[in-house]
Structure 1
Amino acid sequence: MTNLPPSHYLKSGHFGEDLVAQWLQSTGWVILHRRFSCPWGEIDIIAEHSGGGGEQKRQGDKENNSLLLTLQPILAFVEVKTRSSGNWDAGGRSAITPQKQAKISRTAGIFLAQYPEKADYPCRFDVAIVYSQEISKKIAGVTATQKALATSLAAGYEYKLQEYIPAAFDCLY
């Protein structure tokens, strides 16, 4: 097996992020940032959902002396892991170490400091698992055991969003 250049993995990761961003948009999320970075680290996707995906918030109605339930927008800080078959880290899951979680949490804090109007939104840390396979190496007649949430083709590869894990870990900073 030949070693691929580092640029291949960078491009592959970007294609995986593109797929996840498109899927999030198709499910009602608005992409606020891609590859948000600061000295602490980088967050692949920051998305906001303003209806249905948010939490209910109770607000007092002083005129009618009653409580109103409104849907509050929610922010998702999404880490995307794009891997080929035969990877060493459980499809990217084991790469989300406590140290990586802390870096993402601190970076999210920087984002919220830069956008204080979103600082009171409920936040969660999601993980997306994307598998890539070179199209020319697909085995005819073999089907995946798990249906992909979304698929795309790019640069001779097929990308499959295999798993999206909402609230995969808690804020650690």
Structure 2
Amino acid sequence: MANLPPSHYLDSGQLGEDLVAKWLESTGWVILHRRFACRWGEIDIIAQNPGSPEEQRGKGAEADNSSLRTQNSALSEKLQGGSPSGQTSVNQHCILTFVEVKTRKLGSWDAGGRSAITLQKQVKISRTAGIFLAEYPEKADYICRFDVAIVSCQRSLQGTRSKVPQEALASSSIAGYQFYLQEYIPAAFDVLIDS
């Protein structure tokens, strides 16, 4: 029997990212890039929310914005080779998030993808974020954070209607599969770029 072409198989990772992107947009985020890649790696979703820090806290982002601002200033300083300006900008109220999406079948060996976010993976994502900020210097003074989205995937049984788990933030059904955004972790890790 001949092997089927890759286009025949379901790209569950892409579909999980689609679900997370739609959910982010529904909560006020603007998707800037999908699968931003460079030599260091890839970031699944890069999104921006132009609200004030108080609005962000109201939307469930529980990260300490002053800590994020300090880390972002250090990141900008490393990228620009100097010290960041002390001026307060409207952009400092914008949040830029680099989202790693993990899509797994229920009962996966790596805790739904959580175990795959190793320190090495965090450093790769952080370096890739640095490349993004170097390419888009107008965003270098935004508050930056690294989020993780956990998506579960299961095959839908023919003739039965799947129930959305109560804890799911969002769901979608595509090609006989159910996708559930199980967890969204704002500021899941904070790694600065190594020089």
> TM-score, normalised on structure 2?
0.72
Quote the Cα distance in structure 2 between the aligned partners of 1:106 and 1:141: 40
Q: Which residue of 2 aligns with 1:129?
A: 150
Q: Which residue of 1 aligns with 2:35?
A: 35
2:125 to 88, 104, 115: 104
- Structure 1 residue 86, shift from structure 2 partner: 2.0
Quote the Cα distance in structure 1 between the aligned partners of 2:99 and 2:13: 13
Q: Which residue of 2 aligns with 1:114?
A: 135
Quote the Cα distance in structure 2 between the aligned partners of 1:94 and 1:158: 22
| Contact 2:150/2:183 (8 A) holds in 1 | yes
Q: Which residue of 2 aligns with 1:48?
A: 48
Q: Deviations over 1:12-49 (max 9, x none)?
A: 00000000000000000000000000000000000000
Q: How many residue pairs end up in the alignment? A: 158
| Contact 2:151/2:180 (8 A) holds in 1 | yes
2:176 to 146, 156, 160: 156
| Contact 1:48/1:73 (8 A) holds in 2 | yes
User: 5+ unaligned residues in a row in structure 2: which ranges?
Assistant: 58-64, 70-87
Instruction: Give the RMSD, CA atoms, in angstroms.
Output: 2.8
Poorly superposed stretches of 4+, deviation over 3 Å: 5-9, 54-57, 68-71, 137-144
> TM-score, normalised on structure 1?
0.81
Quote the Cα distance in structure 1 between the aligned partners of 2:151 and 2:50: 25
Q: Which residue of 2 aligns with 1:17?
A: 17
Q: Structure 2 vs 1, CA of residues 75 and 69 (structure 1 numbering), >3 Å: closer, same or farther?
A: closer
User: 5+ unaligned residues in a row in structure 1: which ranges?
Assistant: 58-67
Q: Structure 2 vs 1, CA of residues 139 and 53 (structure 1 numbering), >3 Å: closer, same or farther?
A: same
Q: Which has the higher strand share?
A: 1
Letter in 1 for 2:56: G
Letter in 2 for 1:105: S
1:165 to 172, 181, 185: 185
Q: Which has the higher helix share?
A: 2
